[in-house]
Amino acid sequence: MPSEQRTPTQETYSDLQAAYDHFNTTLFGGELPPCLITLQRKGPRVMGYYSPGRFIHRAEEDRKTDEIAMSPIFFVRKDDIEALEVLVHEMCHLWQQHFGTPSRTSYHNKEWSQKMQAVGLMPSTTGAPGGKAVGQSMDHYRIVGGQFEAEAQALIDGGFKLCWYDCTARFPIMTPRVPRRNEDGESGEDAGETEEAAPPLSGKRVKFTCPKCEANAWGKGSLQIMCAPCGVVFESAS
């Protein structure tokens, strides 16, 4: 069906399902079971989460399915590859639930970390090289030249695009992170619902202003903030 004839629901969920199917085939050998992909706003710093066995079929109670939730707040980022990173991050949790040994709730263990690296994403508590590769609250960064990067680019080159995002967010939206090379990242030693959190921020609080609508936001000076309604980056007053 042409994109102009699809409803917003069809546009959003059919594209996410197509991305799941693509990565299941190319990164996981097609072994992952189907799951229910949802859009959830759990908080300003939760980009997505995985929850095993969350849904039961109303007419067939012996049928259960896992949930991968994605936050539409972060779809405002111009680089769709970052949303795909979150999807694959959660797919690694789903893989571990069915084929590995998850740790306690929300803990990202060594097995999960190694799977992430195998598919082309480097776990990091800071979202950058030097962060721990296991822990309770985890981000990641893309391995340049890795399998994920190649397959995500192939998907985008084939026409994948997230059409809708949440424009009512009441908190700053970070612009895309710059992908970093996996030159010296090391695996650390030492999954309920398992979240992916946005990386921690640091620095002095400053005022940011949208150059179009003149809306204001306050945050740490290291932030890059986008005005969702205007689609432009806030300017720092500092």
Pull the structure tokens for residue 129. 């090289």
CA gyration radius, the chain: 18
Pull the structure tokens for residue 138. 């985890």
At 217 the pLDDT is 76
CA distance 196 to 133: 13
Least Cα distance to 152 among 68, 26, 49 occurs for: 26
At 195 the pLDDT is 66
At 50 the pLDDT is 94
Measured from the Cβ of residue 205, the count of other Cβ atoms closer than 10 Å reads: 10
At 136 the pLDDT is 85
CA distance 233 to 137: 27
At 163 the pLDDT is 87
Q: Please provide residue 81's backbone torsions phi and psi, each rounded to the nearest 5 degrees.
A: -65, -25
Pull the structure tokens for residue 73. 């707040």
CA distance 1 to 33: 26
Q: Tell me the whole-structure pTM to 2 decimals.
A: 0.73
CA distances for 44 relative to 38, 133, 166, 171, angstroms:
17, 23, 12, 7
Pairing mode of beta strands 232-233, 225-227: antiparallel
At 228 the pLDDT is 67
Pull the structure tokens for residue 206. 């400053």
Query: Residues 6 or more apart from 195 whose CB is under 8 A from it?
Result: 42, 46, 48, 49, 106, 137
- Could you tell me the mean pLDDT of each successive run of 10 residues in the chain, 238 residues long? 76 95 98 96 83 94 95 77 94 97 86 97 90 89 95 95 79 48 33 59 62 72 66 66
At 183 the pLDDT is 34
CA distance 69 to 37: 6
At 4 the pLDDT is 63
